[in-house]
Structure formats: C-alpha cells, structure tokens
C-alpha cells in the first residue's frame, strides 16, 4: 500500500478561546508522555470527497472551541514539569490518498501496522513548544472508502477523554449540538497545588512510578532486550474462548462469596503465563505486569462528569515465573485483582503526594520528550497491559455511517506491550494486540490458543 499526502493545513478554533497556562496534574505528566495513535475505517460516503473533508474540518474547528486545550501546545516550566499553553496554535489536518481499496486490506488483521494512515510527531527534531497535541489524517481509498488517523498526546488526555472529544466532534459533524462539554479544570486532581501532606504512603513498592521492572537473571540492564527486533499482531478471542478462560480462572473459586473473575482479569492472567512459558524464563525469574487503572469512580467523591485529562494510575503485580506457571489461572488472576483492588482515593492521593515530592518529574516519564533516553521498560521478562474494553470506541458516525474497523497504531509499540479491546463481533469477544520480540511471537500465538483448549 502506498499513501500519498496531497494537502496539509492547520485547523484552529472557530471562535476566540481562553488563552494562558493551564496547570497539569502529576498524573498527566508521568507515565506515557508520547502520542497515542488510532485509525478508524469508513465505507464510501454519499457526499463528494471535497465535501466530506470540508465538513470534517469545519466541525473540528467548532468542536475545538469547547476542547480548546487540544489546539494548544505543551510548555516546560521547571523540574521536569509541564503545563498546557492554551494558545490556539491549531491542529494539523492532513489529506491523503491510498492506492488500494478497503477490500484489499481483507479483514484488516493482516495489516496491523497502519503507520502511513496515522500522522506522528518527530520527538527528536520538534521542539516541545511546537509539537501539536492532536494530529489528524484523512485518507481516501480507491473504492471511495476512507480512514481517519487520530494521534493524540497522552500528556493531555487519557483514553476516556480522547474518546469524549472524538464522539463530540462526530456529533457536531452530523449537525447536532454538543452533548457534554468537557470539565477542563484539573484542580480536582490538585493540578498546580502544593503538597497536601508530608506523609507519603510507606508502601512505596506499590507505586508503579517508583518501581523498576525486574531484569533478566544475570543481566545488569535491559539494553540488550530493548534492541531486539519486535513485531505486532492482533489475536482474536471469540466469546466462546473468552468464556472458557473465565471458567478456568473461576474453577475451585467460591463464587457465592467471591465475585467471579472478569474477562479482563482472566485474559490478562493468561497472557502473563503464556509469555513466561514461551520466553523460557527460569522458575526463579521475577516478572512484573504493569496494569493501568481508571480512577474516575474510585475517588471520593468521584471525579466530575466528563473530566478532561488523565485519570489513570499504574499498579504492578509481581511474581516468579515458576509460581505463575505452577499455579492455576485463578491464582494468577487473583494477583492481578488484588493489585487493582488497592486503588482507592487514599492510594491515588498517596501517588500524587509522592510525585509532588519529586524534584524532577522527567525520570517518571516513559518517553522523555526530545530526548533519546527512555524510562521503565516492560519487555522481557515483563508485560504492560492496557485495556480499552470499557472505552466507547465504537459507533463513531461523522454523518456517513459508523466505522467498519478500528485499529490501534503500533509504530511506538515495544516488546511486552499488550492492548485488550472489544472485538468487532460485539458481545463478549475480544481482540488482543500484542508486541513481542520476533523470536517469541509464533510460539506465543500457538501456546496462547492451545492452552485455552487444554483441560
């Protein structure tokens, strides 16, 4: 597939918006500080292509009046900390053509890497103050179908907030009024405020921000593993297979008094065990799994409706390869559930307190902007799992019908990155997007499926 860019423009808010520095919370500024890419595919519209493009741009300009932080830029203030410069600099909008039909992509699973369809940021050569927070690309295919490449800064939003913007933009594009304005004030997560208490949670190892994932036995750094060639694939789990995993996880569990393990817990535990097996980890090898948790309903009181920003924390479950493989799927699922269960208002505030105490936040950023150094690495012998199961990703209709497929971008994926999202079949089916070292991928796919069927 060859994609040719025909036009690039900058879309700005349709009206004058508030300008100035907007404080970011500590949860915005730590963890993943790169852009997150996604691509939506649509069939041919009833309107001409120039009309489609102009309608998308006009409605984007209107929507940015309400979501004006996305038209701004980041600014470095001090001590590795960032803030939002709401300056209405705009959103890059690229128009392109592809030399294939949508049908040529088959079921899309043969093409897990859609780099040409999604715009990106050159972190090494773009100054922070100039890097767009949102980048968009519409690509027309030979059949008249088209795709929308959506690339958004994780410093500014998490998945829930990104999808809030996308669904509101689609509403405006259809000619409907905005449904739910974003809550832009991040002071509910103490953005820009001083340390709340001098007491930081002593269980510091519970905070993912403070943890260094285990290294392979006998190694003193992860440099060798970082340089291994990786590949990406997307694995389908039908509702039947998901239920089999859940049933395995819940075997010998007293489900009258203990809530059944969820499909997320069971699938994540299964992926962790499978990775240990195909990587041939020694039984005494320590291994961790990074888990991303939405805190909106875990705070007391809950965060405001449509809070716009990052409302997520990371937690770490740990174990040895030997205990994970010798234990049941329920045992491993319990490890994951126990860590998730620790996330409450007190825990989140202790994370914020800990980060506010730090003299330099940049060391807690997974990708240090405009630098070559990278932070925590959840490759071999570890995993990092993100769930999009509950995100409102599907049914995004800009006025010409709902999407036919959604795919995650994979250009920034690293060894050990796992993404779980709902299957296009609906119901209880899932898709697991996996990035692993090339030498491990075929074994992972084989064992992943085979072990579900084993008694």
Q: Between 438-453 and 239-249, two packed helices, what is the crossing angle to 10 degrees?
A: 80
DSSP three-state, residue 349? helix
Contacts of 262 (CB under 8 A, 6+ apart): 246
Fold match, 3-189 / 204-391+410-453: yes
> Distance between terminal CA atoms of the chain?
43
Burial 114-142, CB ≥16 within 10 A → b, else e: bebbbbbbebeeeeeeebbbbbbbbbbbe
Q: How many CB atoms lie within 10 A of CB 438?
A: 11
Assign 371 to helix, strand or coil: coil
pLDDT value for 334: 96
Strand order in the sheet with 230-237: 230-237, 430-437, 417-422, 383-387, 286-294, 312-320
Total Cβ atoms within 10 A of residue 300: 10
Q: Is the pLDDT of residue 21 over 50?
A: yes
- Of the candidates 166, 148, 149, 169, the one whose C-alpha atom is nearest the C-alpha of residue 45 is 148
The predicted structure's pLDDT at residue 20: 97
pLDDT at 421 over 60: yes
Q: Which of 136, 120, 133 is nearest to 170 (CA)?
A: 136
The secondary structure of 142-207 as a DSSP string is TTS-EEEEEEEETTT--HHHHHHHHHHHHHHHTTPPPSS--B--GGGGTTTPPPS-S---S-GGG-
Summarize pLDDT for 154-209 with one digit per residue, the tens.
999 999 999 999 999 999 999 999 999 999 999 999 998 888 765 555 455 556 65
Q: How many CA atoms, within 13 angstroms, populate the side-chain half-sphere of residue 92?
A: 20
Place of tokens 């963890």: 31
The Cα–Cα gap between 149 and 161 comes to 17
Active-site residues: which are they? 154, 397
For 271-313, the pLDDT digits (tens) are 999 999 999 999 999 999 999 999 999 999 999 999 999 999 9
Tokens representing 283 are: 């039984």
Element at 240 (helix H, strand E): helix 239-249
Residue 372 has pLDDT above 80, yes or no: no
pLDDT at 411: 63
Beta bridge partners of 437: 230
Work out the burial of residue 326: count CB atoms within 10 Å of its CB; fewer than 13 is exposed, 13-18 middle, 19 or more buried: exposed
For the segment 232-250, the average pLDDT, to the nearest whole number, is 95
List, in sequence order, the alpha helices (H) in 250-373. Answer: 263-278, 321-326, 329-341, 345-356
Tell me the CA distances in angstroms from 33 to 26, 154, 158, 246, 430, one per residue in order.
Answer: 12, 6, 11, 34, 27
Structural tokens at position 319: 């174990």
In sequence order, what are the residues at sequence separation of 6 or more whose Cβ sits closer than 8 angstroms to the Cβ of residue 118? 37, 38, 39, 137, 149, 150, 151, 409, 411
Structure tokens at 115: 């780099």
- Would you state the pLDDT for residue 199? 54
Average pLDDT value for residue range 359-388? 75
Half-sphere exposure of 90 (CA within 13 A, CB side): 12
CB burial of 146-185 (b: ≥16 within 10 Å; e: otherwise) equals bbbbbbbbbbbbbbbbbbbbbbbbbbbbeeeeeeeebbbe
- Give the per-residue pLDDT at 373: 46
Q: Which residues, including other chains, have CB under 8 Å from residue 267's CB and lie 6 or more apart? A: 237, 242, 245, 420, 430, 432
Give, in order, the Cα–Cα distances in Å from 69 to each of 24, 88, 120, 283: 11, 8, 19, 49
The encoded tokens of residue 85 equal 């410069």
The ranges assigned to domains in the chain are 3-189, 204-391+410-453
SS3 426: coil
pLDDT surpassing 80 at residue 46: yes
For residue 368, name the pLDDT band (cuts at 50, 70, 90): very low
Task: State the pLDDT confidence band at 426, using cuts at 50, 70 and 90.
Answer: low
pTM above 0.85, yes or no: yes
What CA–CA distance (Å, rounded) separates 182 from 169?
Answer: 12
Q: Which CATH architecture has domain 204-391+410-453?
A: 2-Layer Sandwich (3.30)
Which tens digit of pLDDT belongs to each residue from 47-88? 999 999 999 999 999 999 999 999 999 999 988 899 999 999
Map residue 222 onto helix, strand or coil: coil
Q: What is the pLDDT of residue 106?
A: 77
Higher pLDDT, 230 or 123: 230
Pick the CATH number of 3-189 from 3.30.559.10, 3.40.50.720, 3.20.20.210, 1.10.357.10: 3.30.559.10
Question: How many alpha carbons fall within 13 Å on the CB side of residue 260?
Answer: 9
Average pLDDT (397-408) is 93
For the chain, what is the largest distance between any 2 Cα atoms, rounded to a whole number of angstroms?
63
Helix, strand, coil percentages in the chain from 3-state DSSP, rounded to 5: 30, 25, 45
């Amino acid at each position: 597939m060859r994609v040719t860019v025909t036009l690039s423009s900058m879309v700005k808010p349709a009206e004058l918006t508030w300008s100035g520095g907007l404080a970011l919370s500590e949860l915005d500024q730590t963890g993943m500080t790169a852009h997150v890419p996604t691509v939506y595919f649509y069939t041919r519209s009833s309107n001409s292509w120039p009309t489609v493009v102009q309608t998308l741009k006009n409605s984007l300009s209107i929507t940015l009046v309400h979501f004006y932080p996305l038209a701004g830029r980041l600014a470095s203030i001090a001590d590795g900390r960032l803030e939002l410069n709401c300056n209405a600099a705009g959103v890059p909008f690229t128009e392109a053509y592809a030399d294939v039909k949508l049908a040529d992509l088959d079921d899309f699973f043969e093409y897990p890497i859609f780099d040409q369809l999604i715009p990106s940021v050159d972190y090494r050569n773009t100054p922070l103050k100039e890097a767009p927070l949102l980048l968009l690309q519409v690509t027309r295919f030979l059949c008249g179908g088209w795709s929308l490449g959506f690339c958004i800064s994780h410093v500014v939003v998490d998945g829930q907030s990104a999808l809030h913007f996308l669904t509101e933009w689609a509403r405006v594009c259809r000619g409907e009024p905005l449904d739910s304005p974003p809550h832009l004030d991040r002071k509910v997560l103490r953005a820009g405020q001083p340390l709340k208490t001098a007491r930081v949670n002593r269980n510091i190892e519970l905070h993912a921000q403070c943890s260094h994932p285990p290294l392979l036995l006998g190694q003193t750094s992860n440099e060798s593993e970082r340089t291994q060639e990786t590949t990406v694939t997307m694995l389908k789990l039908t509702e039947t297979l998901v239920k089999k995993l859940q049933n395995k996880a819940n075997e010998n569990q007293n489900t009258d008094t203990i809530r059944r393990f969820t499909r997320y817990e069971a699938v994540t535990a299964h992926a962790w065990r499978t990775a240990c097996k195909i990587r041939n980890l020694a039984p005494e090898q320590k291994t961790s799994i990074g888990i991303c948790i939405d805190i909106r309903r875990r705070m007391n009181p809950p965060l405001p409706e449509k809070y716009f920003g990052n409302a997520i924390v990371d937690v770490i479950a740990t174990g040895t390869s030997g205990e994970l493989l010798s234990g049941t799927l329920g045992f491993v699922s319990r490890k994951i559930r126990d860590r998730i269960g620790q996330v409450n208002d007190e825990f989140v505030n202790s994370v914020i307190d800990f980060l506010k105490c730090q003299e330099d936040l940049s060391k807690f950023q997974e990708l240090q902007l405009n630098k070559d150094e990278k932070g925590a690495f959840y490759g071999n012998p570890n995993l990092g799992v993100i769930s999009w199961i509950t995100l409102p990703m599907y049914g995004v209709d800009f006025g010409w019908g709902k999407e036919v497929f959604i795919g995650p971008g994979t250009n920034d994926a690293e060894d050990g990155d796992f993404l779980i999202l709902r299957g296009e079949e609906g119901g209880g089916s899932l898709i697991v997007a996996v990035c692993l070292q090339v030498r491990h991928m075929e074994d992972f796919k084989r064992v992943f499926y085979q072990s579900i069927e084993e008694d």
